[in-house]
Amino acid sequence: MTNQADTLTFEHIGHDVTIWPLAKIVAPWAISIGHSVIIDDFVLFAGGKRSTLGNFIHIASFTSITGGGELVMEDFSGLSGGVRVYTGNEDYAGAWLTNPAVPPPYRSPMRSFVHIGRHAIVGANAVILPGVTIGEGAVVGANALVTQDCEPWTVYVGSPAKAVKSRPHERMLRLEVELRGALFDGQGAYIPVARRGV
């Protein structure tokens, strides 16, 4: 296996990052990646204006991140298989032509952002539209369409996504504290797998 983390030039890349060889990374210089991150085969990740991945993140196969805007994924967040994240879109109001094959000034793409909070999980085949913040610990169910912000520690399902229940999180937050105590040194620096137990 060729780990693309070793061959691409990112804005920043941490330790213990695995980018499988069949993942397609566009504009890696606009992407900052933390520690212990996995990007599976068949992911399409376009860096856009800027993309920031925290620590302990997984992006599953057949997910695409496109749109030319900004993406933030905080620590412990994840995207399940087939998720679509759009950080930008076209102006469909009828004033412009629409699609990337059309040159300016005939097209007016809109660049925005998607922010995925710590411990948030996006289920398989969900679609996240531009301008959305998925709050800390929120869960987006499979096949959901997210058009508005998701509140922290809340489960959302459907198209468009609607809140259905709260998500317990006390134990999860305790485990995070334990993990950070085990995998970070006294100065807060991540301890790579190769140096653990030394």
Q: What is the residue extent of each domain of the chain?
A: 4-167
C-alpha to C-alpha distance for 133 and 152, rounded to whole angstroms: 10
Q: What is the pLDDT of residues 84-102, one digit of tens each?
A: 999 999 988 889 999 889 9
* 60, 80 Cβ separation under 8 angstroms: yes
pLDDT of the residue at 34: 97
* Check whether domain 4-167 has CATH 3.60.150.10, yes or no: no
% of the chain beyond a pLDDT of 90: 87
Residue type, 86: Y
C-alpha to C-alpha distance for 92 and 56, rounded to whole angstroms: 37
| 97 bridge partner residues | 107
Q: Where are the alpha helices (DSSP H) in the chain?
A: 170-183
Give the Å distances, CA to CA, from 32 to 47, 52, 92.
9, 5, 31
